[in-house]
Structure 1
Amino acid sequence: MNALKKIAWKTLGLMGYAIQYGCIAHCTLEHIADYVLCYGPSMEPTIHTKDVVLTEHLSTKFYKITKGDVVIVRSPTNPREFICKRVIAMEGDHVCTNPSSYIKSYEFVPRGHVWIEGDNSLNSTDSRTYGPVPYALIRGRVFFKAWPFESAGFIKPPPEDIKKRVR
């Protein structure tokens, strides 16, 4: 009977450690940093399908997202999906929605919103389709591409033509 008690206490002790480590892992992935497997061509050539990127959540919590950051956002059209896009404009900015046209039209980004677009503008569903996105939908800021190893590194800055579209 004494041996059974020892086994029970050891099992409970191990379960306690497993629960503690699980809580630490959950809090880390939810509030500090995370990894994401990306799909779709909208961020090419910066991020390709099946690339694994590392994201951090502190920038969103402390409102430190800036123009040019690549972010993971809860999709405005399907809340079960997350999308990866680049922040083009912040609240209060006017962004050109048709840069290749002779007559330019500008969209105003209201308070508490951002304008996001994919780097591959010909193959991206983004703010040009559904308008400004609430800041609260931003999940995290992508800071590092981890996979594949041969293209691992920090995320590149935005193309120069993006900066010209915001006033």
Structure 2
Amino acid sequence: MSAWRSIAKEAFTQASIVAKFLGFLHFTNNYLFSPTLVYGPSMLPTLNLSGDVLLVEHVSHRLEKVGPGDLVLVRSPLDPSKILSKRVVGMEGDQITFLPEPSVTDTCRTILVPRGHIWIQGDNMYASCDSRHFGPVPYGLVQGKVFFRVWPPSSFGSLGQ
């Protein structure tokens, strides 16, 4: 009987260590920073078409420390299952002048970014679905701020403004 107690106690200890580690990973990944893979043409030339692995911190947007020029991850207002990587171009109260369809028209529009919203655009305006298509984005859809590229090795480094 004592052998079973010893085994059960050891199993409980090991399970407790695993649970604590998984809790730490969950906290770190959701509230501090996490790696993410991004791909597509919308952020060329800043990000590669074939896919970059970026580190995203999840603190700044909660402290409202995201501003123009920052590269952010945003939940898509058109398809909530998708996460977009875009650049912040304007904050609430900013007046933004933009071309709705740069390949179709040369008529500019101007919009005032409403309270609690940001204006985001891809660096490649000809291949980006962004605020020019769906309007200002609620600040609550911001998932994090990109701060570092870890892959590919040739582009390793900070992605500051």
> TM (normalized to structure 2)?
0.92
Report how many aligned residue pairs link the two structures. Answer: 157
Residue matched to 2:144: 140
Residue matched to 1:125: 129
Asked whether the 8 Å contact 1:46–1:156 carries over to 2, the reply is no
User: SS of the counterpart of 1:42?
Assistant: helix
Query: Per-residue deviation at 1:8?
Result: 1.3
The CA distance in 1 between the partners of 2:138 and 2:36, in whole Å, is 21
Q: Deviations over 1:95-153 (max 9, x none)?
A: 11129776542111000000000001110000000000000000000000110111111
Asked whether the 8 Å contact 2:147–2:160 carries over to 1, the reply is no
Asked whether the 8 Å contact 1:94–1:106 carries over to 2, the reply is yes
Identity %: 41
Query: Per-residue deviation at 1:155?
Result: 1.1
The CA distance in 1 between the partners of 2:35 and 2:97, in whole Å, is 32
Select the structure that is richer in strand: 2
Asked whether the 8 Å contact 2:70–2:160 carries over to 1, the reply is no
Residue matched to 1:66: 67
Asked whether the 8 Å contact 1:118–1:124 carries over to 2, the reply is yes
The CA distance in 2 between the partners of 1:103 and 1:11, in whole Å, is 69
1:94 aligns with 2:98: no
1:45-64 to 2 correspondences below 5 Å? 45-48=45-48, 49-64=50-65
Residue matched to 1:161: none
The CA distance in 2 between the partners of 1:103 and 1:122, in whole Å, is 15
Judging changes above 3 Å, is the alpha-carbon distance between structure 1 residues 156 and 65 closer, same or farther for their aligned structure 2 residues? Answer: closer
Structure 1: segments with no counterpart, 5+ residues: 158-167
Cα RMSD (Å): 1.5
1:152 aligns with 2:153: no
Structure 2: segments with no counterpart, 5+ residues: none
The CA distance in 1 between the partners of 2:82 and 2:99, in whole Å, is 27
Residue matched to 1:43: 43
The CA distance in 2 between the partners of 1:102 and 1:133, in whole Å, is 24
The CA distance in 2 between the partners of 1:125 and 1:26, in whole Å, is 31
